[in-house]
Amino acid sequence: MSDQNVKQLNLKSPSEFLKFLDSLSKISESAIITVDREKVSSLVSSPDSTLILHAQVNMESGFYDTLNIPDVKKLTRIIDTVGGTDLNLSINSNNIEYKGNGLKFKYHLFDEGFLTKPSLNLDKINAFKYNVEFDLTKDILQKIFKGATFASETNKIYFYAERGKLMAELTDRSRHNTDNFGLQVADVDFELDPIPVNFDNIRLLTNISDVFKVRVNTEFGVVVFEAEGAGIKLKYIISSLTA
């Protein structure tokens, strides 16, 4: 980050910022966080690049800068330890510092250029034409996770639609004699050939609302899960599997 005077990042709602950090930490140990006057955002990817998350939280800062965070979980834990509301973080040239409420901490940052962002053109992804859209509720997700204890031999989940029913099925169609678990997601008016997704990526989704908006581009095999909470937006971009 640039070497300028100390800047103040005001967390009027630390809980929202913690949810933002938590969503990042599930995907990547480190992250480049962009502070842009009215919002804070980040783009991170899983180690195999099959899952990319663009996370954004509304926050007034009055300045622009980038923070190279070495360990997102570590930063999450210390801010959670401070607790309270309306926290002011001092952004120095190489660290984030806090003093107040009888507590203090100094969290050191990586130098600018040490971390790199995922090579993804977010504008291109946003411009895709998605020919399938549906809602995936928190209740359905919880049932899928429970079903995963039964269908434990697979790490694939297939979404498909037939005869007016959208289904989610945990199985592996490339293997024989695999236990499977499926359930209906919704009644729909479209057909969808089975599109497989790595179930480990589904486990990494952060629930900040009661529903994910799911959009599918079948041409490129891209599945997007979007959720919005109080001042937070999460966009997960998942590459489908081949079988």
The domain in which residue 108 lies consists of 7-113
Structural domain count, the chain: 2
pLDDT in tens, 53-95: 999 999 888 899 999 999 999 999 999 999 888 889 999 989 9
Global model pTM greater than 0.85: yes
How many CB atoms lie under 10 A from the CB of residue 9? 21
Contact assessment for residue 168 and residue 159, using Cβ atoms and an 8 Å cutoff: yes
Residue 122 inside a domain? The answer is: no
Residue 175 inside a domain? The answer is: yes
pLDDT in tens, 212-236: 999 999 999 999 999 998 899 999 9
Q: What is the CATH number of the domain that holds 44?
A: 3.10.150.10
Residue 123 inside a domain? The answer is: no
Give the 3-state secondary structure of residue 200.
Answer: helix
Shared domain for 42 and 73, answered yes or no, is yes
Cα–Cα distance measured from residue 146 to residue 140, given in angstroms and rounded to the nearest whole number: 10
Contact assessment for residue 59 and residue 11, using Cβ atoms and an 8 Å cutoff: yes
Model pLDDT, residue 160: 97
Shared domain for 150 and 95, answered yes or no, is no
1, pLDDT greater than 70 = no
Cα–Cα distance measured from residue 122 to residue 224, given in angstroms and rounded to the nearest whole number: 12
Give the 3-state secondary structure of residue 239.
Answer: strand
Last residue of a domain, one of 113, 136, 153: 113
Cα–Cα distance measured from residue 70 to residue 68, given in angstroms and rounded to the nearest whole number: 6
